[in-house]
Structure 1
């Protein structure tokens, strides 16, 4: 093999090593020194220097020098057209000098180059734009192969440019992902913050204060309340207003799974632990590591499973189903139940030690019938949300609000939402009047049917329109027209006529 062939072989091997270095690291601050060292050790190209373009000044700034740490040399800059490097900045072409001393433009500001040796400098392009210069000096006198070495330096500069472009793309992608993540976090926090929990009654003000206080800490929280009172909303607010808000938030309804599946779902399982376990799988607790886990309907788990859950709460560790390795987890537990756990403890159905471990910070949500003053605000909020889902504005009349406040809502807010969604579906115009509020009277307790503590319409009030008076009278009379007529000092014939002319839909019970 002749000298040129041997050199080309060496340079190709070096080019491969450079590509490995650049593909291994996207850190544009660390890779240059490794590349320059590889060029010296494998290709005999010494005194390597990489300069980068300062976008603010338009000057080339020396960024890396082979064998010299960045803090060990004074900042060196080249303006366009200044010296050999400035010429590359101006013209964007490779320069190959057989001997440094033969070119009067060569400045040698770093004082590291041998004047009798050749010099090669090639532009570094990033995305088609000149962004830097790679400069090197062969460690031998010109042997007639300067053009081969110059072409090789151009290829290395091209690889560096591609690496920098990839690094910039990755950084931009990371920035975009971070911005999207922060936007999502703000959206989620808004959706699950205090504004999503409606209520101004004294009981709800107390709940808000408890949430604000407990959110700061990692204390276990037990949310108590009837079905449909919004326990999950409270759990969401606690997590997204806590220091763990940036961590994962995992939810599970304990009543939705049988015990054998519940253990695998919460603690995970190893491959082959049971039929169908074809691979190892993390459980919800491991998924929630560093964040929070919300265990709804905690009162539904069996005593046998309660013991396993107690270990996680006490020790912060668990074992996957079918495994023997202990897994440590850092999880804040928020639990909820509609059951009377005290009675369950007395009956031996719920472990007392687990009860005390869960009941560190209890939050009791009042039933809707205990805060009827919040009904109008909740109704308007729900109607707004339903209208958003339907893509149109919805409006509740005063008569509709009056009817809503006259009901004890045994199904709580969930029942009200269903009632309002039905009313919205039945409303062509988007205006929801009392006649569209269809309440299942069979669910109402005898006490609330006989005596309503909710405010009633004054039938003698001249400011209340006749339609609202008739509907309110029918409501109070259980939609028995003869009784409603007596409330309005009418005859049955008169109220029947009013119902017809006012377009009131009669409810049958």
Structure 2
């Protein structure tokens, strides 16, 4: 096996070589065909038309037994036969290689042509197609040249035939290299527009399906009765094109519900654009929502597409819609009515087809009565309303969510936190959660970081949850109260771990049985509570 030198070809030298005839074969006759290939490649970027010409040239004037055009898929890191002659469809399907694998793989890996003068003398020729094993071509030579563009290997052009003259073999190597360099731009365009495009479309579809699974209603955590009603509303409205208004306190998960509606809707294949109306300065709201033309105001150095235009064909989610000024409310109303708008400084209207989902923690009815929210806009937005319950009204969902966050943040922080201690659970359940799910998420993340023994204890929770002001209890916790609470929790946890065995519990806590008994009596703790009954075990 030998490598050809770097192919910096001298056309005069090639033409001189081609004018020599051996065994009745004159390569000068191929020059008009090269001209035709060049003409087709510059006028028409159709790879199929080019390959039809090339394979015909290889099969007839060049008298090749087999010819293959192989393309390199960088994403899957595989090289496959794109078009060929002399191979059956079954043989073509078997011709798949990795870079560095076999002759073809080495050409792709090195970017250099390889010539095998005798197939039966090459250890690198793998015969992956098994064409030679079935029909035999031991005396044939194999030529494989890279198809390259800007030093990037796109594939290979390979041929096989029996040569009686080494000079003719060398000429065909140069000829195939010339053809490969001529078709490289068309091959690159084909890979970009077809293989890469198809892969990107497939990847986009895969990600959207993943998002759809992630945001489907059954994956929103919580099984309380108020949430079951929310799930039912999502299920009913998602398949429609209706405008949806989501109401609820800050932190209850309005964006998550909007996502669930979008990814289970007729607009799921389109974009999902989120915009927080309270996050923009008053003078920039119109530009952010509806866009502007270049030069329409100071600082408008380029045309900007607003959120509505970006969401065309999908869903726009306007959070905190109650924060819009009356002037911007009027512009939003116009879009809802006409499904068109003009960019700032624009002349032509921009039409959009999308779904509008809005959310707010404000009391819009009260704002309408006060004159701070347009009544006509309210009724336009309130086609279908979903009200999310605050966390304090969701009962045991607090524990379900807390367990979920423990597992999530333990994995993210590389900690082996497994559970929440009973006193800490009681605190979580009794707290009124003004920040709702968002606050609970932050509390559990902090507690996971503070935990040292794989358990979240009450003293791992933030002080705000343990004070009378925040938790709604009547008496403030003194230092003595805090120490008693910690002692109570440690005794309860140890009794649980030891199935109510007082001796083992005392040993774990570093106490004598008598000292533990006194403390249990002080806290009115009975070891019998922690004994597992046989019937319980059977249940």
- Bin of the TM-score, shorter chain as denominator length: 0.5 to 0.7
Query: What residue in structure 1 maps to residue 40 of structure 2?
Result: 21
Matched, 1:130 2:158: yes
Shift of 1:247: 1.5
Change (3 A) 1:403 1:441: closer
Is it true that 1:52 corresponds to 2:50 in the alignment?
no
Q: Distance in 1 between matches of 2:237 and 2:439?
A: 29
State which of 384, 387, 390 in structure 1 corresponds to 2:407: 384
Give the corresponding residue for 2:326.
303
From 446, 458, 462, give the equivalent of 1:434.
458
Structure 2 CA distance for partners of 1:93 and 1:231, relative to 1, 3 Å: closer
Deviation at 1:363, TM superposition (A): 0.4
Shift of 1:258: 1.5
Report SS of the residue matched to 1:307. Answer: helix
Q: Tell me, yes or no, if structure 1 residue 396 matches structure 2 residue 416.
A: no
1:59-458 equivalence runs, <5 A: 91=140, 127-128=155-156, 130=158, 157-158=179-180, 162=184, 166=188, 169-170=191-192, 171-194=194-217, 196-394=219-417, 395-440=419-464, 448-449=472-473
Cα contact 2:37–2:50 (8 A) shared by 1: no
SS at the partner of 1:269?
coil
Structure 1 pair 57–296 and aligned structure 2 pair: CA distance change class (3 A) = closer
1:280-316 residue CA offsets vs partner (Å, 9 max, x unmatched)? 1111111111111111000000111011111111211
Distance 2:303 2:276 in 1: 22
Q: Secondary structure at the match of 1:334?
A: strand
Task: Report the secondary structure of 2:371's partner residue.
Answer: coil
| C-alpha spacing 1:301/1:320, structure 2 compared with 1 (3 Å) | same
Greater Rg, structure 1 or structure 2?
1
Q: Is the 8 A contact 1:223 1:362 kept in 2?
A: yes
1:487 maps to which residue?
none
Instruction: Decide whether the 8 Å contact of 1:317 with 1:329 is kept in 2.
Output: yes
Residues 410 and 444, structure 1, Cα contact 8 Å, conserved in 2: no
Q: Normalized against structure 1, the TM-score is what?
A: 0.64
Tell me, in whole angstroms, the C-alpha distance in 2 between the residues paired with 1:448 and 1:424: 25
- Asked whether the equivalents of residues 19 and 159 of structure 1 are also in contact (C-alpha less than 8 Å), the reply is no
Alignment CA distance shift 1:366-1:151 (3 Å) = closer
Change (3 A) 1:155 1:304: same
Instruction: Tell me by how many angstroms 1:419 deviates.
Output: 1.8
- Name the SS for the 2:396 alignment partner: helix
Q: Over the residues paired in the alignment, what is the CA RMSD in angstroms?
A: 4.6
| Partners of 1:27 and 1:167 within 8 A in 2 | no
Counterpart Cα distance in 1 of 2:141 and 2:292: 61
Contact 1:23 1:163 in 2 (8 A): no
Aligned to 2:10: none
Counterpart-to-counterpart distance in 1, 2:337 and 2:255 = 24
Structure-2 separation of matches of 1:89 and 1:248 = 57
Separation in 2 of the partners of 1:330 and 1:275? 30
Q: Does the Cα contact within 8 Å between 1:52 and 1:132 map onto a contact in 2?
A: no
Q: Structure 1 unaligned runs (5+)? A: 40-44, 60-78, 81-85, 95-122, 134-148, 452-463, 470-493, 500-509
Deviation at 1:349, TM superposition (A): 1.0
Per-residue deviation, 1:410: 1.7
Residues 1:221 and 1:299: Cα distance change in structure 2 (over 3 Å): same
Q: Contact 2:467–2:473 at 8 Å: present in 1 too?
A: no
Q: Is the 8 A contact 2:140 2:160 kept in 1?
A: no
- For 1:292 and 1:30, locate their aligned partners in 2 and report how far apart those are by CA, in whole Å: 42
Please state how far the C-alpha of 1:27 moved relative to its aligned partner: 4.1
- Alpha-carbon distance in 2 for matches of 1:275, 1:132: 67
C-alpha distance in 2, partners of 1:322/1:214? Answer: 37
Q: 1:369 to 1:155 in 2, by over 3 A?
A: closer
- Cα deviation, 1:66-98, whole Å, max 9, x if unaligned, reads xxxxxxxxxxxxx99xxxxx999994689xxxx
Shift of 1:192: 3.0
- Give the unaligned 5+ runs of structure 2: 1-14, 20-26, 62-82, 93-130, 148-154, 162-170, 476-487, 494-517, 524-539
SS of alignment partner, residue 294 of structure 2 = coil
8 Å contact 1:125–1:131 — kept in the other structure?
Answer: no
Residue 372 of structure 1 aligns to a residue whose secondary structure is coil
How far apart, in 2, do the equivalents of 1:450 and 1:283 lie?
A: 52
TM-score, normalised by the number of residues in structure 2: 0.61
Measure, in 1, the Cα distance between the counterparts of 2:342 and 2:39: 42
Q: Which moved more, 1:202-211 or 1:421-430?
A: 421-430
Are residues 155 and 409 of structure 1, via their aligned partners in 2, closer, same or farther at CA, if it must alter by over 3 Å? closer
* Distance in 2 separating the partners of 1:350 and 1:169: 54
2:124 aligned partner: none
Measure how far apart 1:434 and its partner are: 1.7
